[in-house]
Chains A and B, each alone.
Chain A
Amino acid sequence: MTTWKLASLVLFVALTTGLAALSQDTDSAVAVYGFTLDETVALRLSVSGTGRGFDVRDGADLYLDLGEVRGTTGAITDYDLYVSATASASSDGAVRAMGTGGLELRLDEAGFSGTPPTWTNPECLYFEKAVAPPERTLLFTGGNNVIDNTRFAVQTQVALGSLLGNGLRAGDVVTYEVVFTIVER
Chain B
Amino acid sequence: MGKNAVKWGVLGMLVLAMGTVVYAADTDTASTNPFNVTLNETVRIAVSTQPTASTVVESDLETRYFSLGSFAAQVWAITNYQVSADVDFSGTAASALLGSGAAAVRAQIVQATDFGTTGDDGADSPTSDVTTGSPYTAIPAVPGQNLWHGGNTEGGTLTYHEGTVHLWLDLDQLGDQAQNNVLTVTVNLLVTEQ
Contact = CB atoms under 8 A, between A and B. Distances in A.
B14 to A, nearest CB: 66
B44 A37 contact: no
B59 A42 contact: yes
Interface in A37-58: 37-42, 44
B16 interface: no
Given A26-B191, A27-B45, A75-B61, A33 B167 contact: yes
A29 interface: yes
Interface of B: 39-47, 50-51, 53-64, 66, 68-69, 71, 73, 79, 91, 93, 167, 171-172, 174-193
A31 B182 contact: no
B182 to A, nearest CB: 5
B180 A38 contact: yes
A33 B179 CA distance: 18
A146 B63 contact: yes
A77 to B, nearest CB: 5
Contacts of B40: 25
Given A146-B172, A147-B172, A37 B180 contact: yes
Given A28-B45, A37-B182, A74 B61 contact: yes
A27 B78 CA distance: 13
B189 A34 contact: no
A32 B187 contact: yes
Given A25-B41, A30-B188, A77 B193 contact: no
Nearest to A79: B176
Contacts of B56: 35-40, 76
B193 to A, nearest CB: 4
